[in-house]
Structure 1
Amino acid sequence: MRKCVFIITVLFGLSVSAQISNDSLKLVWENEKGIDSVRFNALENYYEINNQTQPDSALVALEYYYLLAEEKKATKHMFKATKRTGNIYRLKRNYDKAMSVYQEAETLAIELKDPTLQAAIMGNMGNIFIYRQDYSQATQYFSKALKFYQEDANLEEESHMLTSLGSVYLIINNYDLALEYYKKSLNILNNRAFEDRRTAVIYLNIGWTNFEKGLYKDAEFYYKKGLKILQVKNEKFFIANCYESLAKIYLNLKDLKRANFYAIKNLDLNTELAIETGIIDAQIIIAQLTFETNTSDATKKAEAILAKLPSNANNEVKRNVYELLYKCYKAQNKLGLSLKMYERYNIYNDSIQLEKNNFAVAREAVKNEFDVKLYETKLKNEKQQAQLELKQLKRTFGIISGAVLLILFIVLYYKNHIKKNRKKREALLEELEKLKNNSSSSIIVDSKKFELIREDIEASINRKLNETDWKVLNILLDTPEITNKEIAEKAFMSVDGIGSALRRMYDYFDIKDTKYKKIALLTEAIKRSNN
């Protein structure tokens, strides 16, 4: 009991607070001595606070807003007032009035030469074309606005147009494409740190898509997710939509208790907002639910709806009422009335079928337009891909050319290097032969009979040569270009031992780094032997 009282007290407090806020804002904008910008700001704040909760009061304030802007020759504020007036009429489902007001706003946007405002009103007019079932026009308007927002890098409005285009594809039963657009839109908004009405609307649309696909549990999940966001600021028009959809979802799930709960809440909210078509739709859902448990009460409700049904009600509403009455009379065995209702049901069902045929034509028109845009996009992508491939090909060719030149340079370098080394080796061998064939009396001309003089060599290096060193020198004397392995075989020693002996003698004879150390060692030994 305390909890209930507490809630009522808080709600009363909020209501009083809102009233004080509204009254304060009204005092500000009605103050003719006040600063114009302050007065305009007060009117805009009033609209934000009341457009969903008190739409009729918001309309009165918007009329004042327009007249004040006109008096002050503030065309941009005239545009704002006009556009917002159209928004409220659209939410109240007065689409003809909304379109008329949007057209006035479009004229003002053109007068201002402001493409951003033109794109904004274009998106709003696209919504009216959807309600008029002119899906081709709706697609054109949304697409033009989307292109502008993408070029302007306006991500939030781009997301809005993606959502609107997704709704067109949902209506024409292209559910996969609709979900693709909704997810793109949601991804943009998810980069923000908050969720608002736009986020909620995407959730509602995803829910609607799942409902149309017969995935009622998934539909329930997304509608409740959207409803939670909308309830934060009490967005009544959208909340009413949630209640209606949830009632239909639970009716399909045979959860009559929950269906009835949301149907009643939907009726109450539409009554509060004075949305005539919304009230009728809510009453039909309640009558359909009643039929599941009480045929007599359902009949009375359906008859009451039919009695006050406006002549301009759409064919789907009429069909639903006659279908319900047909079922009620048939269940009560009132065959004459049942047959009469069935005939009426067929008349409107045929009309709907005709509308569906026209709808199919419209769907094809939108599909064809989408295919053309898809083809244009494909051509553009193919052209970009071809340019990219050409650029890549040039780049690859450049890399290959560079690699080939590098390889040629390396080949030429090593070829030249080998040639130089060969000349150097030949020069060393030639010098070696000259030393061997020295005409000095101490040297025998025949290189095969030439002998190294150990004593002279040891004297010149000021150290004794061991037997291994001496053996290696004499082997080199016979074959200067012999390998370490071949020396080891001839000397009956290990390769490591030969390497060690050579390193030692390189040090003794002061042989510097050279590619032909053995030849240089032998040359030096012959020189020292000659001396």
Structure 2
Amino acid sequence: MKRLFFCLFLLPFFTYSQVNKDSLLNVWKNSSKNKERLNAVNKLIWNVYMVTQPDSAFYYANLQYNLAKKIGDEKSMAKSIEGQGVSKAQKGNYEESKIFFEKSLDVFKKLNDQSAIARNLDFLATTYCKMGSYEKAISMYEKAFLIAKTTKDIRRQSSLYGNRAVIHQKQGQLNQAIECFLKSIKLAKQLLKSSKEGYYPKLNIANAYHNIGNIYTVINDKEKALKYYFKSIKINEKNNFDKYLILNFLSLADFYLSELNLDKALYYNKKSLSKAIEINSPIDIVKNESNIALIYFKKERIKEAQAMIERCIEAVKNSTDKQLIAEVYFISSKIQNNKQTSILNAQKTFDLAYEIGDVQLLKKASYFLYKIYKKENNLDKALEMYEVFVEMRDSLSGDEIKRLKYQQEYLQKAKEDSIINSTKHKFQQSRIKDKELQIQNEIYIKRILIFTVLLVIGVLFLIIKNGISSKKYQKEEYQKLLTQIHLLNTNKKSEISESIVLESDIKINKEIINNQVGNKLNDTDWKIINLICSSPTMAYKEIGAQVFLSVDGVKSSFKKMYDLFEINATGRNKKLALAIKLIKLSEEND
């Protein structure tokens, strides 16, 4: 099973700047200057607590809000509300984080702070994405992108391209996803060259590499998937982006799990889990523990697997991250001993995946349910799930998803009762087999067509190559034969022109030649022999005119002589070869 752990270009305030926590706390508690205190607490929230201790970040953001309100600093008030939203998102409380972002967005709109408006729209879009509301997320991203483009905010544009790509990826639109990731990388590299800012561009590049690795995992290009995963890891390790190393290691664990390399999968899962515990990221802890539960199950450590997955299910009960819930329940369905519980959990995964439009999850859940229903002889349900699986698989391979159409069809089917009669069993079984056979035949036909095209191209190439070689060979043979005739005539002290027409006749020993071929030559043949010995390059038409014979008759005479004298030269060179042979036979008896 391949799960995809997406690096959203989320919360661009995450930094790991080296700051002195004690010094900041001292300023916050003891400074008499409110601006200094607000600046210090802002750094405490974002640079110290946000990644590792989101609850503490929320606490200090609340204190920041109270102080800002007291002195009438609306911008700092909005910034503190934004910080509260981010801390809630860190813990997976997306409904609450959405409310905070909407509040901070309203304040920034009032202040007409375009950069902050784009940032909060980006946060809201990412929150909607995590909640599975892709259409709302896309709308927010588009609004944020328009502002970022107007204000020439390259950093925000890079982040937005990356986040938009993640939605394309979730919806199975892999070509569009790759295109957006490459744009994000291009802008990030441009930002690296044009400014001293290095943190955000490097983070965006690392995230894009990770997600491109996910795409190559989907299309089963293992070599490229690993290449991009490790490119992302290299950047994240070099810059201490621990939050994102968690997802790097998690994706590697799942990659090796799909390869059934359980030891390597467990190694990377434990690395990821260790980082998640270190920075206190509950969502990432659940992701890792659910993966480890599946590995334990495959290693036949059943009790440990079941205990761990139950703990994960308990942890996501109050979560609003529908994709995380779906993934945990899907793993639970694979581990359960009770078939009914397994079906219920898989169905829950299917329903959530359908609700958020996640093609990958729909594909996995539908195929899993198809196998269970088929085994249980629930053939109507089996066929329904198999059709969904084929549609999702084709959608991924064709890079198109017809999610809205599928939702309508599924809702229609959900209203209908699925009652299986014993008289329908064989018919339904046959339909499933026919469907499977149809898919196999389509694949076979495609392969045959590809092979045929390649074969035709190969044959044409050989024909052309042989034709060129043949022409070259004939030309070389022609020159050699002309040279031989020239030498023979020189020996007889005869002059030769460029067309090899001799000034004096060559003496042909008729007796010797007749003996050679058993007196099978007629008068016309002898006339032709005399002509070609004097002028070997003479054309058929010219020869025919002189011996009062048609061109076909001349050709027939030549064919007979070629056979009698065993002439093996090619094409037009046969006449030259025949002339040489006749001259040589006559010379041998002079």
What residue in structure 1 maps to residue 227 of structure 2? Answer: 221
What residue in structure 1 maps to residue 265 of structure 2? Answer: 259
1:111-510 equivalences in 2 (<5 Å): 111-191=110-190, 192-193=192-193, 194=198, 196-301=202-307, 304-305=310-311, 308=314, 310-312=316-318, 314=322, 316-317=326-327, 319-326=329-336, 329=337, 337=338, 339-352=339-352, 354-355=354-355
Amino acid paired to 2:37: R
The answer to whether the 8 A contact 1:135-1:366 is kept is no
Which whole-Å CA distance do the structure 2 matches of 1:32 and 1:154 have between them? Answer: 34
What residue in structure 2 maps to residue 42 of structure 1? Answer: 40
What residue in structure 1 maps to residue 50 of structure 2? Answer: 51
CA displacement, residues 210-238 of structure 1 (integer Å, 9 cap, x when unaligned)? 23333343233323322333334533332
CA pair 176-366 structure 1, distance change in 2 beyond 3 A: farther
What residue in structure 1 maps to residue 554 of structure 2? Answer: none
Which whole-Å CA distance do the structure 2 matches of 1:219 and 1:89 have between them? Answer: 32
CA pair 346-54 structure 1, distance change in 2 beyond 3 A: closer
TM-score, normalised to structure 1, is 0.57
Structure 2, unpaired ranges of 5+: 1-16, 363-391, 393-399, 406-590
CA pair 357-270 structure 1, distance change in 2 beyond 3 A: closer
Amino acid paired to 2:223: K
CA pair 37-216 structure 1, distance change in 2 beyond 3 A: farther
Which whole-Å CA distance do the structure 2 matches of 1:350 and 1:132 have between them? Answer: 16
What residue in structure 2 maps to residue 76 of structure 1? Answer: 75
Which whole-Å CA distance do the structure 1 matches of 2:330 and 2:230 have between them? Answer: 26
What residue in structure 2 maps to residue 90 of structure 1? Answer: 89
Equivalent residue of 2:240, what SS? Answer: coil
Which whole-Å CA distance do the structure 2 matches of 1:84 and 1:307 have between them? Answer: 29
CA pair 364-107 structure 1, distance change in 2 beyond 3 A: farther
The answer to whether the 8 A contact 1:306-1:321 is kept is no
Rg larger in structure: 1
The answer to whether the 8 A contact 1:209-1:219 is kept is yes
Q: Give, in angstroms, the shift of residue 125 of structure 1.
A: 0.5
TM-score, normalised to structure 2, is 0.52
CA RMSD of aligned residues (A): 3.1
Which whole-Å CA distance do the structure 1 matches of 2:166 and 2:22 have between them? Answer: 39
What residue in structure 2 maps to residue 29 of structure 1? Answer: 28
CA displacement, residues 201-258 of structure 1 (integer Å, 9 cap, x when unaligned)? 2222222222333334323332332233333453333222222222111212333222
Equivalent residue of 1:196, what SS? Answer: helix
Which whole-Å CA distance do the structure 2 matches of 1:127 and 1:238 have between them? Answer: 16
Amino acid paired to 1:57: S
Q: Give, in angstroms, the shift of residue 58 of structure 1.
A: 2.5
Amino acid paired to 2:41: L
Q: Give, in angstroms, the shift of residue 259 of structure 1.
A: 1.2
What residue in structure 2 maps to residue 459 of structure 1? Answer: none
Q: Report % sequence identity.
A: 20
Which whole-Å CA distance do the structure 2 matches of 1:64 and 1:233 have between them? Answer: 30
CA pair 208-84 structure 1, distance change in 2 beyond 3 A: farther
Structure 1, unpaired ranges of 5+: 1-16, 330-336, 368-531
CA pair 366-168 structure 1, distance change in 2 beyond 3 A: farther
Which whole-Å CA distance do the structure 2 matches of 1:29 and 1:309 have between them? Answer: 35
The answer to whether the 8 A contact 1:319-1:348 is kept is yes
Q: Give, in angstroms, the shift of residue 71 of structure 1.
A: 1.6
CA pair 244-114 structure 1, distance change in 2 beyond 3 A: same
- Count of paired positions: 339
